[in-house]
Amino acid sequence: MTSESSDILTILDVKVYPGESKEVSFDVAKLHTSSSVDVPIIIERSKKPGPTVLFTAGIHGDEVNGVEIVRQLIAKGINKPKSGTIICMPVINIFGFINLKREFPDGRDLNRVFPGTINGSLASRVAHKLIHGVIPNVDYIVDFHTGGSGRFNAPQIRITKENKNLNNLAKVFGAPFVLYSKNLNKSFRSTCYKLGKPMLLFEGGKSFHIDDNVTNSGVNGAKRVLYHLGMLNNKFKVSKPKKDCVFINESRWQRANFSGMFKASISIGSHVKKGDDIGNITDPYGKFNQFVKAQNSGYIINVNESPIVYQGDALFHITSKLKRQP
């Protein structure tokens, strides 16, 4: 492992000693108005040695539910470890967060420019600073995301296949679903994987929205991971997941056969059988009502909550192949 609390921790050239609490500025550039943007990295260290865990959110500026999860970890004091070090970065893409947009002002997706370059675009510079100034010091990363605009994700952890360490951590986190997915090129997760930094990527809810169930799933999962690593303060209790995690090998999108007004009739996280009615598409004039039937059996892990859809739009993400718990 890369760091222990018995050592001096250096984040962006700032030294943090065992037992210290410190905020380190992650400023990269000013706003176009010349105003400074204060983006704090919140660091809490125990005097007792242990791992270093990084909680991140807001890589996409419109994914506010992830920001809320990390905010609660800080506000409740969960980030004050019994041993080791906890680093929290609630908003990485502050420029997108200010404007409630997914991308940076130049239209670039931060999660497609890692590891970044020191003299590149604004997004690339932020990626470079994160990878070179923060990531070398951490042992584990939990990165919180949400679904796209209008598409609600069931709380889920995404990891790559054939990684026993990540399998165990995902099971400890205890989200309802664990989805095996490939690392996307130039993503934060892919870059950390290449650097040997284990990451759990959490997805839950949708953009521009804060959902209590998603928030609770994220906060409780973070507590379970910290407890597993011997880092959770004794004043916090850890609850067991209500159900065992469902590990998903494959899933598929079911798309609209018609354009019109759409309404789902099945709850997120539900199990459906092939042929079940799971929604309907109507026109504004009351001339037709097309029922949407499940094309295969599985769990509903994403639902399109947009009231208007076009032919070919994704309506439901349904699991197609499950795996026994590792």
CATH of the domain at 293: 2.40.50.100
| Number of compact structural domains in the chain | 2
Indicate if 224 and 256 belong to the same structural domain. Answer: no
- For position 190, what pLDDT does the model report? 97
Indicate if 45 and 110 belong to the same structural domain. Answer: yes
Indicate if 305 and 164 belong to the same structural domain. Answer: no
Question: Which residue range is the domain that position 275 belongs to?
Answer: 250-323
We report the CATH number of the domain holding residue 87 as 3.40.630.10
3 found inside a domain: no
Indicate if 148 and 25 belong to the same structural domain. Answer: yes
234 found inside a domain: no
306 found inside a domain: yes
Indicate if 33 and 125 belong to the same structural domain. Answer: yes
Q: Answer left, alpha or beta for residue 172, where phi above 0 means left and psi between -120 and 50 means alpha.
A: alpha
242 found inside a domain: no
Indicate if 64 and 173 belong to the same structural domain. Answer: yes
3-state secondary structure the chain: CCCCCCCCEEECCEEECCCCEEEEECCCCCCCCCCCCCCEEEEEECCCCCCEEEEEECCCCCCHHHHHHHHHHHHCCCCCCCCCEEEEECCCCHHHHHHCCCCCCCCCCHHHCCCCCCCCCHHHHHHHHHHHHCHHHCCEEEEEEEECCCEEEEEEEEECCCCHHHHHHHHHHCCCEEEECCCCCCCHHHHHHHCCCCEEEEEEEECCCCCHHHHHHHHHHHHHHHHHCCCCCCCCCCCCCCCCCEEEEEEEEEECCCCEEEEECCCCCCEECCCCEEEEEECCCCCCEEEEECCCCEEEEEEECCCEECCCCEEEEEEEEEECCC
2 found inside a domain: no
Q: What interhelical angle do 64-75 and 212-228 show, nearest 10?
A: 50
**pLDDT (tens place) for every residue of the chain, 326 residues total:** 444 445 899 999 999 999 999 999 998 888 888 888 888 999 999 999 999 999 999 999 999 999 999 999 999 999 999 999 999 999 999 999 998 899 999 899 999 999 999 999 999 999 999 999 999 999 999 999 999 889 999 999 999 998 999 999 999 999 999 999 999 999 999 999 999 999 999 999 999 999 999 999 999 999 999 999 999 999 999 999 989 999 999 999 999 999 999 999 999 999 999 999 999 999 999 999 999 999 999 999 999 999 999 999 999 999 999 987 77
Indicate if 96 and 210 belong to the same structural domain. Answer: yes
3-state secondary structure 259-303: CEEEEECCCCCCEECCCCEEEEEECCCCCCEEEEECCCCEEEEEE
Among 193, 228, 263, the domain-final residue is: 228
95 found inside a domain: yes
Indicate if 165 and 221 belong to the same structural domain. Answer: yes
Indicate if 62 and 195 belong to the same structural domain. Answer: yes
The pLDDT tens digits for 1-51 are: 444 445 899 999 999 999 999 999 998 888 888 888 888 999 999 999 999
- For position 34, what pLDDT does the model report? 84
Indicate if 71 and 214 belong to the same structural domain. Answer: yes
Indicate if 58 and 195 belong to the same structural domain. Answer: yes
- For position 36, what pLDDT does the model report? 82
254 found inside a domain: yes
Indicate if 170 and 206 belong to the same structural domain. Answer: yes
